[in-house]
Homo-oligomer: A and B are copies of this chain.
Amino acid sequence: MSDEPSTTSRDKILKAATGIAQAHGYGGLNLRTLAEQVGIKAASLYYHFPSKADLAAAVAQRYAKDSAATLAALATDAGDPAACLLRYPETFRRSLANSNRICLCSFMAAEYDDLPAAVQDAVQVFADQNVAWLETVLQAAGALPEQAQRRARAIFAAVSGAQLMARGKADIALFDNLIGTYRALGLLAP
């Protein structure tokens, strides 16, 4: 009765804003367009959030939180560490499959210098979480701690780059091809 995911206005705004930001970035997040998608006027958004910066911070924080949950679920679901590593790129693939969108935080990494501080922080959290998750998995798979960190960062960077390149070509097969090459090289393993 209380844990129902009753979609509040705030939630609707956050969800719509996330989709727009994954396709157009922070700069491309237009409040009049967003409001229209939610069915209210732009001025009404200011009842829910004090500014675009705060709205975007909430979006990025929620995105980072969801991503942490997805990674935790993947760890449980995949079972062994090797499977986790092989399946890690799935999340990134899903964005591309969803109207050629990309990871919110990849877009925002490009826009980094123009981002409000709170949004920058959330982008950092997202990246750090991903690297930490990979690091844990790599160590569980037998990597030495120091190597695990280097490798974790390399995986995150390489997969992000593959997603960006695939978006530029609007070609999800290219993403799969790149991930396949990474695998063949042994990048997605300890």
Residues of chain A at the chain B interface (Cβ within 8 Å): 23-25, 27-28, 100, 102, 105-114, 123-124, 127, 150-151, 153-154, 156-162, 164-165, 167-170, 174, 177-178, 180-182, 185-187
Q: How far is the CB of A93 from chain B (nearest CB, A)?
A: 14
> How many monomers of this protein are in the complex?
2
With a 10 A CB-CB cut-off, give which of A151, A164, A170, A182 has the most chain B CB atoms. Answer: A164
Q: Which residues of B contact A108 (CB under 8 A)?
A: 168
Q: Which residues of B contact A127 (CB under 8 A)?
A: 165, 168-169
Main SS class of interface, A: helix
Decide: B124 and A168 in contact? CB cutoff 8 A: yes
Partner of A160, one of B161, B170, B180: B161
Decide: B110 and A102 in contact? CB cutoff 8 A: yes
Partner of A164, one of B109, B170, B180: B109
Decide: A154 and B185 in contact? CB cutoff 8 A: yes
Partner of A111, one of B28, B109, B114, B186: B28
What are 12 pairs between A and B in contact, CB < 8 Å?
A: A23-B113, A25-B25, A28-B111, A106-B110, A109-B167, A110-B167, A151-B181, A153-B174, A153-B177, A157-B164, A158-B158, A158-B182
